[in-house]
């Protein structure tokens, strides 16, 4: 049992409370990604698990035992740092062997056994030819492998990765994230990774946890977060492109419920109606993916007027950022358009697959069950 469980973690720096009773769980053998904007506390959380930062209160449980009072080396964790933190005065082999030589380790190994373990790890990570080089001569990708090897060599119960591939170039990043995923599939070590890149998190993780200001916004399988964001923040954070969030007002129009977005009034599909009982006010947030937005040729009663705020090319598509009141709405098209900043346009919105969030709390209005069940891609 190497489940990691944090219960009621509180941590403050002076008057600033980062965590105020945060709890979350990473099941055994899971690959969990912590994502969130910088300053959300994701790295601090990882350091709390590793034992490098001590919470003011709360329990850290690894494999069912409370480890708060154990030093980092007693917790059976491997940690790979964002900047790799290799020992620059040692060679690759010595870096890999360093944890095995520690005097605090009960299973301390020496001699031939040590060499064998180092060689095996190097083989696993395909860095055998580098073993006798100084780590300062390695490329970023190679250093990253060494750092990973050093955190894995003691067969940790829990592997902790802090932005493991953030410093690599694009192509290497695609390659390494695949390797991380396959490594995990082979070894099955419970893994917690911190990343700021939600695309990376969706790609590698079994479970994604979104943090914001030290609070857990949502935790769940990648596609669940993508399709059923629990809060407006998650909706605007997950996905490329993420959802655009528009402020709207619930009104009654001819006895039917409708949304008012700036001037426009758009009837609300029936399926939303039974979810709205939980709404506390008439102010709501509407979350839309660019695919749910279409340019309209004319201004009609159901179209929303906007101004082109900016435009960019994304892949083979053109993305328009439209200013609707103070909100920004993203729209993507394959068509070739000639547009310029400041132009007035009208858009129609397809609300069938849109998400509604409470205007005050930002929480999603409506249960998940009314939308087709998630996860059609199996990630066994």
Partner 1 sequence: MPAIEFLSVTKRYPDGTVAVSSLDLAIEPAEYVCLLGPSGCGKSSTLRMLAGLEEVSEGELRLDGRAINGLPAQRRDMAMVFENYALYPHLNVFDNIAMPLVARGRAASEICTRVARVAEALQISDLLKRYPAQLSGGQRQRVGVGRAIVRRPSTFLLDEPFGHLEAYLRLQLRAEFRRLHERLGTTTLHITHDHEEAAAVSDRIAVIEQGRLQQFGTFLELLDNPVNRFVAEFIGSPPINLLPAQLTGSENGPCVKVGPAKVPLPMARTAGLSQAVASEQLTFGVRPEDVYFDTQDTSETLFGDVVAIEPQGDFSLITVDITVGTIRAMMSSTTILRRGQRVGLRFDVSRAHLFAADGHSLLVPPVRPAGKAR
Partner 2 sequence: MREATIPPPASRHRSVGHWRPLRTGGLLAVAVAFVGWCVFPFYIMITTALKTDPQIFAWPPVWLFHPVLRNMQNAFFVVGGRSALFFLMNSIIVTAVSTILAVLLGSMTAYGLARFHFPGDRNIAFFILSTRFAPPVAFVIPTYVLVERVGLLDTRLALIIVYTAANVSFVTWILRGFFVDIPKEIEEAALVDGYRHIEIFWRVALPLIKPGVITTGILCAVFSWNEFLYAMILTQSRASTLPVYLSQFSGSTTLVWDQYMAVGVIAVLPVLLAAWWLEKHLVRGMTFGAVR
- Binding residues for partner 2, rule: CB under 8 A, are 50-52, 71-73, 77-79, 81-83, 85-89, 98-99, 102-105, 150-151, 154
CA angle 345, 347, 348 (to 5 degrees): 160
Contacted by 204, from partner 1, partner 2, none: CB < 5 to 8 Å by type:
partner 1
When asked if residue 69 is in the footprint of partner 1 (CB under 8 A), the reply is: no
In the complex with partner 2, the residue whose CB is nearer, 21 or 74, is 74
252 - beta bridge partners? 257
The contact pattern for partner 1, residues 81-110, with x = CB under 8 A and - = no contact, is: ------------------------------
Q: Are 263 and 305 in contact (CB under 8 A)?
A: yes
Q: Is the dihedral of CA 74, 77, 83, 87 positive or negative?
A: positive
Comparing CB distances to partner 2, the nearer of 86 and 234 is: 86
**Taking CB within 5 to 8 Å according to partner kind, which of partner 2, partner 1, none is near residue 82?**
partner 2
Residue 277: contacted member of partner 1, partner 2, none (CB under 5 to 8 Å, by partner type)? none
Does residue 16 interact with partner 1 by CB under 8 A? no
Residue 29 sits in the site that holds partner 1 (CB under 8 A): no
Q: How far is the CB of 213 from partner 2 (least distance, A)?
A: 24
Q: Which stretch binds partner 1 (CB under 8 A): 6-14, 294-302, 331-339, 357-365?
A: 331-339
Residue 34 within binding range of partner 1, rule CB under 8 A: no
Q: Measured at the alpha carbon of residue 313, what is the angle toward residues 310 and 318, in degrees to the nearest 5?
A: 80
* Residues 200, 210: Cα–Cα separation, whole Å: 13
Out of 222, 287, 359, 362, the only residue in the binding site for partner 1 (CB under 8 A) is 222
- Write out the E strands in the chain: 4-13, 16-26, 31-35, 57-62, 65-66, 77-80, 158-162, 190-195, 207-212, 215-220, 244-253, 256-261, 264-267, 283-288, 293-296, 304-314, 317-324, 327-333, 344-349, 355-358
Out of 202, 209, 259, 349, point to the residue binding partner 1 (CB under 8 A): 202
Closest CB 336 distance from partner 1, rounded Å: 6
* CA gap 295, 286 in Å, rounded: 18
Interaction of residue 188 with partner 1, rule CB under 8 A: no
Contact (CB, 8 A) for 80 and 151: yes
What are the φ and ψ backbone dihedral angles of 144, each rounded to 5 degrees?
A: -60, -40
């Amino acid at each position: 049992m190497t489940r990691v469980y944090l219960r009621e973690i509180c941590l403050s720096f002076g008057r600033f409370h980062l965590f105020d009773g945060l709890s979350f769980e990473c099941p055994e053998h899971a690959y969990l990604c912590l994502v969130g904007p910088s300053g959300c506390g994701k790295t601090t959380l990882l350091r709390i698990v590793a034992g490098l930062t001590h919470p003011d209160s709360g329990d850290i449980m690894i494999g069912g035992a409370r480890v708060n009072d154990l030093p980092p080396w007693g917790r059976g964790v491997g940690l790979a740092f964002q900047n790799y933190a290799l020992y620059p005065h040692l060679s690759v082999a010595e870096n890999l062997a360093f944890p095995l030589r520690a005097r605090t380790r009960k299973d301390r190994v020496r001699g031939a056994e040590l060499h064998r373990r180092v060689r095996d790890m190097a083989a696993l990570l395909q860095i055998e030819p580098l073993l006798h080089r100084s780590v300062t001569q390695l490329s970023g990708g190679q250093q990253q492998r060494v750092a990973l090897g050093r955190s894995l060599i003691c067969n940790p119960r829990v592997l902790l990765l802090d932005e493991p591939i953030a410093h690599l170039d694009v192509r290497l990043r695609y390659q390494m994230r695949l390797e991380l995923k396959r490594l995990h599939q082979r070894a099955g070590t419970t893994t917690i990774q911190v990343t700021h890149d939600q695309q990376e998190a969706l790609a590698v993780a079994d479970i994604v946890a979104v943090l914001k200001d030290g609070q857990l916004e949502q935790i769940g399988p990648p596609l669940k977060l993508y399709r059923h964001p629990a809060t407006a923040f998650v909706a605007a954070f997950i996905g490329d492109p993420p959802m655009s969030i528009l402020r709207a007002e619930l009104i009654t129009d001819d006895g039917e419920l409708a949304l008012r977005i700036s001037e426009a009034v758009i009837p609300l599909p029936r399926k939303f109606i039974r979810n709205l009982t939980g709404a506390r006010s008439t102010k709501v947030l509407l979350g839309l993916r660019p695919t749910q937005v279409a340019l309209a040729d004319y201004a009609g009663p159901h179209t929303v007027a906007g101004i082109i705020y900016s435009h960019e090319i994304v892949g083979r598509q053109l993305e328009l950022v439209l200013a609707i009141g103070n909100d920004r709405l993203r729209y993507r098209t394959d068509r070739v358009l000639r547009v310029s900043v400041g132009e007035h346009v009208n858009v129609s919105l397809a609300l069938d697959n849109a998400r509604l969030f409470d205007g005050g709390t930002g929480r999603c209005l409506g249960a998940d069950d009314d939308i087709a069940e998630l996860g059609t891609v199996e990630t066994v």
